[in-house]
Each structure stands twice: as structure tokens, then as C-alpha cells.
Amino acid sequence: SILMIPIPADPGPFPLDPAAVALVVIDMQRDFIEPGGFGASLGNDVTRLGAIVPAVAELIGLFRAKGWPVIHTRESHLPDLSDCPPAKRLRGKPAARIGDPGPMGRILVRGEPGNAIIDACAPIAGEAVIDKPGKGAFYKTNLEALLAQNGIRQLVFAGVTTEVCVQTSMREANDRGYDCLLVEEATESYFAEFKTATLAMIRAQGGIVGWTCTLPALETAVT
């Protein structure tokens, strides 16, 4: 349509429709970004993730200024862990498993201090927060219904981690027919090479999973 805004992106311009776009901010939670949470319990250096917080906050601010929807997700489990498959809880040799007590409360359990979204990216009134038991944002959530109700057909993605919950959610969205755009400075992995590889595989083959763009490219195009 004439109202489309072309965003300089890879593998080509992303035709942003202001009437049909939403930002999905994946799992900007203390459990992944701060010491003592789920990410750290798995042996990861969490400082890499902390470095993108200003970029994610800036992107959220851009969507709010435009009046475009912002949706947040949290990876979380019910206190009785009935939504956590044993295969997930028992995987690996973490310092503390999902549901175990940690310095920020029970690991990856809904309502615990560590499960909260960090202050700099916190939701404001009117923004949806999707609690998800899986890596993908569509699995056992009402996200698809929420998007349909609001006429949203394009998703801009940010958050952590690039190759786990962000990529899984983007692939789920792509299969459901959404145009997906990942903002490069607003996502991060515990492994630098995994972020690089994920960005490359998303935009390869003509954008087989979607597009990637830089934050300045998006900001300049829409303002």
C-alpha cells in the first residue's frame, strides 16, 4: 500500500505497514541478563546480554512514540512446574535447575524476582505480556489470537537470546504468515558466533525466515 514505509534491511527493503506492525520483545528478564538467574546457572557469561539493554530500550521507546503496539514475553513456569516437561528441567548439568531456589528466587518460575523483565525494558500500562513455557512465543500461549484480534501481520523482533527464544519465535511467526524483522543491535546471544550465524541464516535464501536491519536504519526510516 501507499502507506508502507520501506526499511533498509537484509536481504532487501522491509515494507513496514504502520497499521499492521508490532514489536515483540523476547525475554528481557533478570533470569537471563543478571547474575544468579537461569542463564548464569547454565554456566553462561551474562554480561554480553546486558550490553544490548540501551538498544532494546531505545527500540521500545521508538514504538511507543509511534503509537505502535509493544508486546513482551517472559519464559516462565508455574510454581508447581506442571508446564515444565521433565526433559527441559533435567537437561544438562546446571548449578541450579528450573524451580530450584536461587539468589533471585526460584529459577525461571513465574512471579519470582528473577523472572521479572528488567526495569529498563519494563512493560507499561496497555502493553501485553505473554508468559510462555517454551522457547517459542506461540507455543501454549494466546499470542496468535492477540495478533489476529489486533490486525497485526508484521512482527519486529528484539530480545534474548538470538538463537534460542528469538529465533524459535521468529520461525514460529514466519510459518504462521507474519513478515518478521529482527533488529540487529537489539538482540544478543551468550555466544557471539551464534548471533552472527543466526542473523545470516534468517536473511539467507531471499529471507527464508525474515529480514534483519540495524536500529539506526529503522529509526531514520520511520521518523
> 41 or 212, CB closer to ligand C5J?
41
Nearest distance from C-beta of residue 85 to ligand C5J, angstroms: 14
Closest CA to 184 of 62, 75, 69, 59: 59
The burial of 123, by beta-carbon neighbours within 10 Å (0-12 exposed, 13-18 middle, 19 or more buried), is given as middle
> 32 or 157, CB closer to ligand C5J?
32
> 161 or 198, CB closer to ligand C5J?
161
Active site (catalytic) residues: 27, 132, 165
The residue ranges that bind ligand C5J (CB under 6 A) are: 27, 32, 75, 135, 160-161, 164-165
Cα–Cα distance, 100 to 156 (Å, whole number): 34
Which residues in the chain belong to E strands, given as ranges? 5-7, 14-16, 21-26, 70-75, 101-102, 105-106, 128-132, 154-160, 179-188, 211-213
Nearest distance from C-beta of residue 58 to ligand C5J, angstroms: 20
HSE, side-chain direction, 13 A CA sphere, residue 183: 28
Nearest distance from C-beta of residue 108 to ligand C5J, angstroms: 9
Nearest distance from C-beta of residue 111 to ligand C5J, angstroms: 17
> 188 or 217, CB closer to ligand C5J?
188
